[in-house]
């Protein structure tokens, strides 16, 4: 049961900075950017990416969170969990470029739920997906536009993202 650290705090900071740049590069025209994190750690990552973007191009982006608990397709299989708050920036998401942010991309079901939830809030011009770690094993035709690190893993392995704001330490680990 030894956990191997695959990203240290500096690696994470570098990955987020790279994602911020890639997002800006990929933006064609002058579309408004809305970063929506999927709670809990996706929200933290979204805020950090948006801060970086705001430093480079001030005033062109905003950030919020999008809870997907009520849209999950595995509700009946897991114990009931309390939803986390959804915060949509006041300007809304209509015609914006929404970047969904999550910590780990795995089966793709969370993102599917997020797309459903997003549709109930409005109609963005485009939706992108940014993740810190892509560990593979997709069960749906979903891929990330911006990836911090591709991390090939076996399904029996456990990938954990810990962030300073939530967990007190900053690292990504993998354990058998």
Partner 1 sequence: MKHLLSTRDLDRETAVGILDIAEDMARTADREVRKLPTLRGKTVVNLFFEDSTRTRLSFESAAKRLSADVITFSAKGSSVSKGESLKDTAQTLQAMGADAIVVRHHGSGAAHLLAHAGWIDAHVLNAGDGTHEHPTQALLDAFTMRQRRYGADSRGRDLSGMRVVIVGDVVHSRVARSNVWLLSTLGAEVHLVAPRTLLPSGVESWPVTVHEHLEPALALDPDVVMMLRVQQERMHAAFFPSGREYAREWGLTAERFAALGPDTMVMHPGPMNRGLEISSAAADSSASTVLAQVTNGVFIRMAVLYLLVAGSSEERA
**DSSP codes of every residue in 110-135:** HHHHHHHHHHTT---SEEEEEEEEE-
Q: Which stretch binds partner 1 (CB under 8 A): 13-21, 39-47, 83-91, 166-174?
A: 83-91
CB of 68 to partner 1, least distance (A): 11
From the list 171, 175, 132, the residue with the least C-alpha distance to 157 is 175
**Residue list 17-76, contact with partner 1 (CB under 8 A):** 67, 70-71, 75-76
Tokens of 137: 């094993």
The residues near 110 (Cβ < 8 Å, ≥ 6 apart) are 38, 68, 72, 102
Residue 77 contacts partner 1 per CB under 8 A? yes
Q: Which stretch binds partner 1 (CB under 8 A): 10-18, 80-88, 95-103, 143-151?
A: 80-88
Torsion of CA 149, 155, 158, 163, to 10 degrees: 30
**Residue list 110-129, contact with partner 1 (CB under 8 A):** 116, 119-122
Contacting partner 1 (CB under 8 A), which of 79, 90, 156, 168? 79
Nearer CB in complex with partner 1: 24/84? 84
CB of 143 to partner 1, least distance (A): 24
- How many chain residues touch partner 1 (CB under 8 A)? 18
Q: Are strands 171-175 and 158-162 parallel, antiparallel or unpaired?
A: antiparallel
* C-alpha to C-alpha distance for 111 and 136, rounded to whole angstroms: 14
Q: Can you give the binding site for partner 1, defined by CB under 8 A? A: 67, 70-71, 75-80, 82-83, 85-86, 116, 119-122
């Amino acid at each position: 049961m030894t956990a191997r650290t695959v990203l240290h705090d500096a690696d994470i900071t570098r990955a987020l900075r790279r994602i911020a740049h890639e997002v800006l590069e990929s933006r064609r025209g002058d579309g408004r950017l809305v970063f929506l994190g999927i709670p809990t750690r996706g929200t933290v990552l979204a805020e950090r990416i948006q801060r970086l973007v705001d430093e480079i191009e001030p005033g062109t982006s905003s950030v919020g969170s999008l809870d997907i608990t009520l849209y999950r397709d595995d509700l009946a299989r897991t114990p009931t969990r309390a939803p986390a708050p959804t915060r949509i920036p006041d300007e809304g998401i209509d015609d914006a470029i929404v970047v969904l942010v999550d910590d780990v991309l795995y089966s793709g079901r969370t993102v599917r739920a997020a797309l459903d939830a997003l549709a109930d809030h409005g109609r963005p011009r485009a939706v992108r997906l940014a993740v810190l770690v892509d560990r593979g094993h997709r069960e749906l035709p979903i891929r990330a536009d911006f990836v911090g690190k591709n991390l090939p893993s076996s399904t029996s392995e456990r990938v954990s993202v810990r962030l300073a704001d939530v967990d007190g330490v900053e690292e990504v680990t993998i354990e058998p």
